[in-house]
Amino acid sequence: MKLHDTTQSRERRLLRGGSRRKVPESLTVRVTMTVALLYVIWMVGWEVSKHKQSGIVLDLESSIAGKQKKTIKPLPKRTSSLRFDWTNLPPKTPLGKIIDRSQSQCRNESFVREFGPQEVVSFNLIPSGMGSSLHTWVNPLCHASFSNKILVTGGGKWLWNDMLTCPEEIEKSAGQKSDATPQYRSALWCYFGSHESGLHCPSGTVAWDKPKVDFGGAWGSYTCEYEGAKTAWDRGPIYDAAAEWLFQNVSKLVIHEAERQIREEAFPEEEQMRGNSTATATNIEFQPWPLPNADSLITVHIRWGDKKREMKLVTLEEYINGTKSLLTEDEISGVKDVHIYVVTEDPHAVNQFRESSPVNWKIHSSGPKNPTSSSSMMQAATRSKGRAGLESLAALLISLEANRYVLVSGSNWSRLIDELRKSVVDSRCGRCTKMIDLSR
């Protein structure tokens, strides 16, 4: 009864306006705190946006707490036109990581302490086409990696090394803190850096004084046993992983040549189309060159020339039809342009492909050309004093800017492109690429 009377009297007071209901203090505090928090979040968002534009990265949590990090690091400045930093691409595939770990055991104090200095597998690159030379090198690498030994590539002359620049680059290896003798200054040092060479191992961590596994040029004698392997020439995951491991640290010499080809041979018109007139081959360290989007670029490898001695050559019509099979509806109808990067040593192939292409196909090409179809690229390498090797590797990096590929697996060079497509590009773009093999 008392509760009823109290309620009625409260209602009468409210109707008369004589007494107002107070808002609970806790509710007022919560509303105030919410408004304040929204204001702080808005201010932090504005600050982050402002600093992003100026190239500064702020830590969001520390900003909300009112404690900005002591060190504010500027965003790294992009200086390469290429989609990846080829000087720093640690392996991502499982086999690539195994190779990387095995070939770095000499730097693992626990390994050296338990097993002693790492034993050596030695191999000299064979004199052959560049793709073939690198593929035969895979067997000794596999042999070393799966027996916890280190592969040491011989330092003899390699016909694909540019004689104008590589001797100086290889000579720099003499300054490494290693007890390796000069004959073990890898011939690959010029293009791929020290991770491939035993010279990156600290003194006393490689068993140079013990017998080495060395079958000379008989690359097939090096056993390559790993899970999934079928034969010594199995072009499966181990070839993908070996390419990935080798190309994880491409030298700046190759990068600079790729930048030169992009500007002067492959995509010179991109400057005028996009108003990038200040980017030249002389200031490649400062401004990237605009390239077609990866989704609008197709790499086509045309292997003609002396390859007719080894296999039936793929016809121009087959290359054109293979390219068409990868086009989108807008590209087929001509509504959208498509860029084709033609990789070939045959200058006639570029001209014929361009003449047979629809109007909306924009044809690009760069790299070494061998005008005499009857001579081999090995002869071209000799004539150019190895310059053809540097130019070929630079063109290879450019070819991997695409997300679509027309290849011929009967060619070692096509296989190398495909191996890097799968191990490097796909592992970093969520398997965004497509490839058609005209040999099948």
Residues 120 and 232 in one domain: yes
Classify each residue of 358-368 as buried b or exposed e, where b means 16 or more C-beta atoms within 10 Å of its C-beta: eebbbebbbbb
The CATH number that applies at residue 283 is 3.40.50
Whether residue 86 is contained in a domain is answered as: no
Residues 258 and 406 in one domain: yes
Residues 302 and 289 in one domain: yes
Residues 269 and 219 in one domain: no
Residues 156 and 54 in one domain: no
What radius of gyration, in Å, describes the C-alpha atoms of the chain? 31
Residues 214 and 263 in one domain: no
Whether residue 19 is contained in a domain is answered as: no
- Which of 202, 221, 249 lies at the terminal end of a domain, its last residue? 249
Structure confidence at residue 31 (pLDDT):
57
Structure confidence at residue 395 (pLDDT):
98
Cα(409)–Cα(415) distance, integer angstroms? 5
Residues 230 and 258 in one domain: no
Whether residue 192 is contained in a domain is answered as: yes
The two three-digit tokens of residue 365, written as one number = 């090409």
48 burial (CB, 10 Å; 0-12 / 13-18 / 19+) is middle
Residues 278 and 414 in one domain: yes
Q: How many domains does the chain have?
A: 3
Structure confidence at residue 189 (pLDDT):
86
- Which of 221, 249, 277 lies at the terminal end of a domain, its last residue? 249
- Which of 75, 102, 135 lies at the terminal end of a domain, its last residue? 75
Whether residue 184 is contained in a domain is answered as: yes
Whether residue 13 is contained in a domain is answered as: no
Whether residue 167 is contained in a domain is answered as: yes
Whether residue 365 is contained in a domain is answered as: yes
Residues 182 and 292 in one domain: no
Give, as one character, the DSSP assignment of residue 290: P
Each residue's pLDDT expressed in tens, for the chain with a length of 440 residues: 444 444 444 444 433 444 444 545 555 656 566 656 666 555 545 444 444 433 333 333 333 344 444 444 444 455 789 999 999 999 999 999 999 999 999 999 999 999 999 999 999 999 899 999 999 999 999 999 999 899 988 876 889 999 998 877 766 655 554 555 555 678 898 899 778 877 788 888 999 888 889 888 788 888 887 655 555 445 589 999 999 999 999 999 999 999 999 999 999 975 544 554 444 444 545 478 999 999 999 999 998 876 656 667 899 999 999 999 999 999 999 999 999 999 999 888 999 999 999 999 999 999 988 776 556 788 888 899 999 999 999 999 999 999 999 999 989 999 999 999 999 999 999 999 999 999 87
Structure confidence at residue 16 (pLDDT):
44
Residues 129 and 212 in one domain: yes
Domain containing residue 111: 94-249
Q: Do 389 and 161 meet the contact criterion of CB atoms below 8 Å apart? A: yes
Which pTM value belongs to this model? 0.78
Residues 33 and 131 in one domain: no
Whether residue 82 is contained in a domain is answered as: no
Give, as one character, the DSSP assignment of residue 432: -
Q: Do 223 and 143 meet the contact criterion of CB atoms below 8 Å apart? A: yes
Residues 217 and 100 in one domain: yes
